[in-house]
Chains A and B, each alone.
Chain A
Amino acid sequence: MKQGYKQVKRMTPAMRIIHWVNAICMVGAVITGLYIGHPYYQSFIADGAVDKYVMAWNRYGHFIIAILFDVTSVIIAYLYFFSRFEKPYKKVIPNGKNIAEFKAVVVNLLTLNRKKEFDSSHADSFNTVYFTIFHLLLAWMLLTGLQMYVHGLESGMSSIGTWWPWMLHLVTDWTIPVCGGTLMDVRIAHHMTMWFILCWVVFHIYYQVWRTIFWKEADIAIVIGGSKFVKDDSAN
């Protein structure tokens, strides 16, 4: 370890697994989602239609990813409140301390790291809010996606029982009027939100790399080894 630095644990193995599952799912969801929206390659397979299932596999992949997202987002929602490690909800409550910290981090970013007046060893308010936005976008994807999905269960039945479409209607039907009133609006919203998420991802990656380079605290290692390094004041 570099002299004068100490190691702080930031992400548990479970959190890191969730992070990478999410990242891989994201790529998969975009690739399959764009195919569903506009099939961009052709299936020239000299086989009967019943054998090749190109669209069906894409949709299948998209939905499996959706289920993974479902599960991880439930876990994450749980961790927000009950994590024994760090409870992120404490950082998104808009109290004086958090707002001040949020501002300080933004100032740090805008002054190109000239000013750094907050404790960077722990998850800061700015990043936690930023992650919360992601989870909200993902939840929105889930809700609009499941709304589109339930269109195909119009008989009210499914292989796992009638409760499933019933629950999906109960939980997602409100997205129709919120998106603009028609089923197509939900689809437009779903597709559009993908771009918001992509923008989110681009800044997210940039920001973590930027921190790593300019803070010199190995932030990028958090998501791999689970910890970062901060100057150990007590050593000096």
Chain B
Amino acid sequence: MSDRIETVKKLFTSKSSRVETNKGDTYYQELFEKCEARLNEMRSLTPANKLDFTDLLEENGIDRREFMKWASATTAMLMLPPMFTPLVADAAVMMNRAPVVWLELQDCAGNSEALLRADGPKIDEIVLDIISLEYHETLQAASGHQAEKQLDEAMEHFKGKYLLFVEGSIPMGMDGQYGTIGAKGETFHDHLVRCAENAAAVVAVGACATFGGIPAAAPNPTGAVGVMDVIKNKPLINIPACPANPANMVGVILHYVLTGQVPELDSLLRPKFAFGYRIHDNCERRAHFDAGEYVEEWGDVGAQNNFCLYKMGCKGPMTFNNCSIVRYNEAVNWPIGVGRGCIGCSEPDFWDKYAYERPMADAKIKAPTGGVEKTVDEFGLGMLTAAGIGIAIHAAASTVAGKRENSGESHE
């Protein structure tokens, strides 16, 4: 309850998801100098990762021109003025100096997959390739005690400097025993708390790490929660979605490397540069929505003509994410583009509240008390029927009583 009250307070004081994109020349000049100084300092550090960005670009056949195009697009995405483009390019090159510890908790590793399995890595993926991944439970070669030693060393060596990426939810049920790691059987909860202690900032990636995601869906057998429910005393950035878009992960790391700051966040701690857009407002099918042209069933004429997917359960109208703009896999396509609705994967409780593949009005929804699963209309009609029956009884009784009274009167 006190949590709820806190959220209400925060909401009362929060602004819209708007980012002021013109903060004035003095502000940007100052930020520019700060970033420059920061990058110079970084340049003097020895890269923790031996991979060289420029070599990698060359190997993948990406020329300088393409890279600079990417840099200016990324600058725009981060809502910085064009003069920052060379700095963003520099920062990308120096990503091998950004120490990252990546924890894998209760999840499907889908976010790691998203950034690894792109066919022919594009620039976003290459940037993620060269970050100095000090520890990644799924990817590293080391295992067992060796892996634990590596983690301890990284945390010691980069104390207060590393970014802690967390993928997956934290099971709180049964004292956290649903998920343990390592030879000592440390619970995910304790593991997370220990690793977060000396992190510069914590980044929760994917629906599970941010809001509990699918593990937290009803009936939530493991008592799964997101990182924000466990870590309270650290700068925390949420990058939800299922999977989180690599473009947004890169954006956050770049922003951090460049400015040393957490980007502007909304009330759910999501960076506004990525989650300040509503799917519905940037959807190519929107004209069909307004026209009342909907896909009625899979494969019908509407589907063939790219009609709006609202009646197939698209939740674009209630979902904030930039995948309708940046899309996935370096802008190849995105869910609604391939003809299926949005399931609201970047919103809290998305599995229970958004992903039922039909309009909310037709979905069976659990009452807050648990038990009944009814559509709102079924429930409402039930209520109305009950009211109608009550009224009918009262009306009938009144009529009978009224008649008796009348006949009584006539006897007088």
Contact = CB atoms under 8 A, between A and B. Distances in A.
B17 interface: yes
A147 to B, nearest CB: 10
Nearest to B348: A182
Interface stretch (A4-12, A81-89, A154-162, A221-229): A154-162
B150 interface: no
A90 B59 CA distance: 81
Interface string B372-403: 00001101110110011001001101100110
B383 A199 contact: yes
Contacts of A112: 394, 397-398, 401-402
B15 interface: yes
20 contacts: A38-B361, A49-B287, A49-B291, A50-B291, A51-B291, A55-B292, A56-B291, A112-B394, A112-B398, A112-B401, A148-B318, A154-B320, A156-B16, A169-B14, A182-B349, A182-B354, A185-B353, A191-B377, A191-B380, A202-B384
Interface stretch (B91-99, B129-137, B276-284): B276-284
B12 interface: yes
A89 to B, nearest CB: 26
B11 interface: yes
Interface of B: 4, 7-8, 11-12, 14-18, 267, 276-278, 280-281, 287-294, 296, 310-311, 315, 317-320, 344, 347-349, 353-354, 359-362, 365, 368, 376-377, 379-381, 383-384, 387-388, 391, 394-395, 397-398, 401-402, 405
Contacts of A42: 292, 294, 296
Given A38-B361, A181-B349, A192 B388 contact: no
A195 B290 CA distance: 26
A176 interface: yes
A172 B360 CA distance: 21
B311 A151 contact: no
Contacts of B401: 112-114
- Counting chain B CB atoms within 10 Å of each CB, which of A166, A178, A187 scores highest? A187
A184 B354 contact: yes
A107 interface: no
A42 B4 CA distance: 41
Nearest to B20: A156
Interface in A176-226: 176-178, 180-185, 187-188, 191-192, 194-196, 198-199, 202-203, 206, 210, 213-214
A41 to B, nearest CB: 8
Contacts of B293: 43, 49
Interface of A: 34, 37-39, 42-43, 49-56, 58, 109, 112-114, 148, 150-157, 162, 165-166, 169-170, 173-174, 176-178, 180-185, 187-188, 191-192, 194-196, 198-199, 202-203, 206, 210, 213-214
A210 B402 CA distance: 11
A94 to B, nearest CB: 25
Contact of B387 (A53, A177, A184, A202): A202
Contacts of A184: 315, 318, 344, 347, 349, 353-354, 360
Contacts of A203: 387, 391
Interface SS majority for chain A: helix
A199 to B, nearest CB: 5
A50 B15 CA distance: 33
A38 B318 contact: no
Contacts of B278: 151-152, 154
A176 B394 CA distance: 39
Nearest to A194: B380
Contacts of B381: 195
Contacts of B395: 206, 210
Q: Which 6 A-B pairs have the closest CB atoms?
A: A156-B18, A195-B380, A54-B292, A37-B361, A49-B291, A43-B292
Contact of B290 (A38, A53, A154, A191): A53
B11 A156 contact: no
A202 B368 CA distance: 26
B382 to A, nearest CB: 9
A49 B293 CA distance: 8
Contacts of B16: 150, 153-154, 156, 165-166, 169
A49 B11 CA distance: 38
A174 to B, nearest CB: 5
A58 to B, nearest CB: 8
Nearest to B387: A199
Contacts of B315: 184
A55 to B, nearest CB: 4
A184 B366 CA distance: 13
A105 to B, nearest CB: 14
A54 B14 CA distance: 35
B362 A38 contact: yes
Contacts of A55: 289-292
Given A50-B287, A173-B14, A188 B365 contact: yes
B257 to A, nearest CB: 27
Contacts of B376: 188, 191-192, 195
Nearest to B359: A38
A195 B277 contact: no
